[in-house]
Chains A and B, each alone.
Chain A
Amino acid sequence: MSTLSDKAADGRPATGSDAPAGGAEPSAPARDSRVGLWRMLLRDRVATAAAAVLSLIVLTAVFGPLLVGSAATEQHLDNTNQPPFTFDDGWLGVLGTDPLGQSVLARLVVAARTTFSVAAPAVALALAIGALIGMWAGYHRGLRETLAMRVADIIMSFPSLLMAVVVLYVFSPSVANLVVVLAITRIPVYLRTARAESTELQSRLFVDAARTFGTSSSAIIRRHVFPIVLPTLLTLATLEFCYVMLAESSLSFLGIGIQPPDVSWGLMVSQGRSYLQTAWWLTFFPGLAIIVTTVSATVLAAWARLATDPAQRWRLTLPRRARHRTRTAPAPQEAQS
């Protein structure tokens, strides 16, 4: 394969497609390494905070709507556009109310569920399909690889938002269609990463050995390739979660994503836009919710990339001060990731 077509494969630097540069086989038994991961996470204060915030948001998205009940749709026309911290109508007014007197906080909580119910399935779907095809293509090489990569190139060479816009215009914008469109546009990212790793793995000794013993290729992919590719893909999925969430917000903002009376964070920003001069909190808080979520996910992904990479993991086991010092002399590997 020429350098030219290779460059397309590693075009996205932030995805960490080359994270496990060296040997990535899990050296310790799976159970031990999981305990190690927990301890490593707790040691990194920033990553712990990110994980805590993210869990809180996920819990809110899952159970929050039950707590706020019908408050998100209850209109109080005598109590419209109240600034934050007005408690005339109870604690739900803490983030203000919208032009219909609905509580911004309650709407944020309900919108969290919508946002997550689009982003999570879209990421999972793209991850599953992209990983499967990528590993398969990378393992078999040849025509299958070329074909898969060409299709990925086609999808990638077209602006994803544009594709979503066209598709959602044709099919009605529903949650299911959003999930499918966002998944399709993001499949190539996983496909390329999985293919790159799988290509490298299929020439390794342990894969060779399995092949010699007559293991079928699907079993090799499942048992020997998949476990090694998985950490990279999961890290990538965390980053992709941000991307998909932002894409959904953009689409909802443009009016072709989530449709009222459903509500998502992007839609809330869009709805609050016409009240910018009188009620800043209508656009500010949904935007803040998006940012807090994406920043936490990015921080966690950056941590996970280090933690799942045996060549980089030592950075996280150092005490804080020493880690700071090592930053001043970055290893060449760091440049790659």
Chain B
Amino acid sequence: MFHFLRRRVLTSILPLVAVLLGVFVLARLTGDPASLYLPESATPDQRAAFTERNGFDDSIWQQIADYFGGVFRLDFGESLRTGESAATMALRAFPATLQLAGATMLIAVAGAVVIGSWAAFRPNSLADRIASFLSMTAASVPDFWFAITGVWIFAVGLGALPTSGVSDGMSSWVLPVATLAIRPLGVLTQVVRGAMVSALSAPYVRLARSKGAGGVRVVSHHALRNAAAPALTVAGDLTVSLVNGAVVVETIFGWPGIGKLMIDSITGRDFAVLQATVLLTAVTIFVLNIVIDVCYALLDARVRETARV
């Protein structure tokens, strides 16, 4: 398992570096950073001083080396807006997003397993219709529209939920989590349903049935474990795309998370913070992918065997 982990980490480092390099070079492609950061009225002296202070007069290779050197020393530069360390800002915003994403995936996975298994177990039942409705919604309803309509109905119309912010305890979670959950829930339900349909017709389930196992036991003990592997893979991909949703949802609901910080640092042209948030997101996704692969290996004996070699 250790061998497997090491190889997985090594193969994932490359994409990570590529993403960082891409963001770094793209950010520098805007031309002279001084004209972006300084006001129009800045004197040439001020511009020169600014360029030198931030090391923009070095060659691009030197800058890349400096940046990556800084990353290894855990020095991510300072925010140009607040003067705070970019890492502090990113890390402060991180838990809010993590909580949001965690709650969302928990609800999505639990809902998908229940609805998906039920739909597979009883085709054409109510659950089957709910499953297809959910997957249709997931593929076609824009999340920002869902969020705004939710605000309109529940916050503006009924006054039951707050329009934004995190101050109101549990009730401020309802709309953001619901908005974020529609997509993963719909997709996952479809995946679980599909995997369960094929698992339920597999020989080992027929064997379990012939030995007299009841419906619930067959589903929960025999079929679900085997249907979990594809669902897990998709759940991983969905968590990556959850960041997409988080940017939108955090902007709409004023959620002080990483997505909002990213948009703010983009509109505020704050390179260091942008890079820190992108790095943090990329590392999280990177760790997540490894965790998923390990879970995958734990679930599937065939993968475990190849991993051991």
Interface residues of A (CB under 8 A from B): 2-4, 7-8, 11-14, 150, 153-154, 156-162, 165-167, 169-171, 239, 242-243, 246, 249-250, 253-256, 266, 269-270, 273, 276-277, 280, 283-284, 286-287, 290-291, 294-295, 298, 324, 327-330, 332, 334-337
Contact = CB atoms under 8 A, between A and B. Distances in A.
B158 interface: no
B68 interface: no
B148 to A, nearest CB: 5
Contacts of B224: none
B227 to A, nearest CB: 10
Contact of A276 (B29, B156, B194, B262): B156
Contacts of B285: 157-159
A66 B224 CA distance: 56
B152 A158 contact: no
Given A4-B293, A14-B135, A335-B194, A269 B243 contact: no
B300 A3 contact: yes
Contact of A11 (B14, B152, B194, B233): B233
B278 A250 contact: no
28 contacts: A3-B306, A4-B307, A7-B296, A13-B187, A13-B194, A14-B135, A14-B139, A14-B187, A150-B15, A157-B240, A158-B285, A161-B247, A162-B281, A165-B247, A166-B26, A166-B27, A166-B274, A166-B278, A254-B247, A269-B145, A273-B148, A276-B148, A287-B142, A287-B148, A291-B145, A298-B136, A298-B140, A330-B197
A165 B262 contact: yes
A97 to B, nearest CB: 19
Contacts of B26: 166-167, 170
Nearest to A5: B11
Contacts of A159: 240-241, 243-244, 281, 285
A255 B15 CA distance: 29
Interface of B: 14-15, 18-19, 23, 26-27, 29-30, 123-124, 135-136, 139-145, 148-149, 151-152, 156, 187, 190-191, 194-195, 197-198, 201, 230, 233-234, 236-237, 240-241, 243-244, 247-248, 251, 262-263, 266-267, 274, 278, 281-282, 285-286, 289, 293, 296, 300, 302-303, 306-307
A294 B140 contact: yes
A156 B285 CA distance: 11
A36 to B, nearest CB: 26
Contacts of B14: 150, 154
Contact of A170 (B27, B197, B247): B27
B15 A153 contact: yes
B156 A294 contact: no
Nearest to A286: B145
Contacts, number: 167
B282 A158 contact: yes
Contacts of A7: 233, 296
Which applies to chain A's interface (DSSP): helix, strand, loop or mixed?
helix
A171 to B, nearest CB: 8
B149 A284 contact: yes
Contacts of B293: 4
B234 A298 contact: no
Given A3-B300, A166-B278, A280 B145 contact: no
Q: What 7 A-B pairs come out closest when comparing CB atoms?
A: A294-B140, A287-B145, A161-B244, A335-B198, A159-B243, A335-B197, A154-B15
A150 B12 CA distance: 10
A11 B300 CA distance: 16
Contact of B144 (A167, A269, A277): A269
A329 B26 CA distance: 53
- Interface centre among A11, A170, A171, A255, by most chain B C-beta atoms within 10 angstroms, is A170
A89 B132 CA distance: 42
A295 B136 CA distance: 7
A250 B263 CA distance: 13
A167 B166 CA distance: 30
Residue among B190, B244, B248 with most chain A CB within 10 A: B244
Nearest to B230: A13
Nearest to B155: A276
Contacts of B289: 157
A327 B306 contact: no
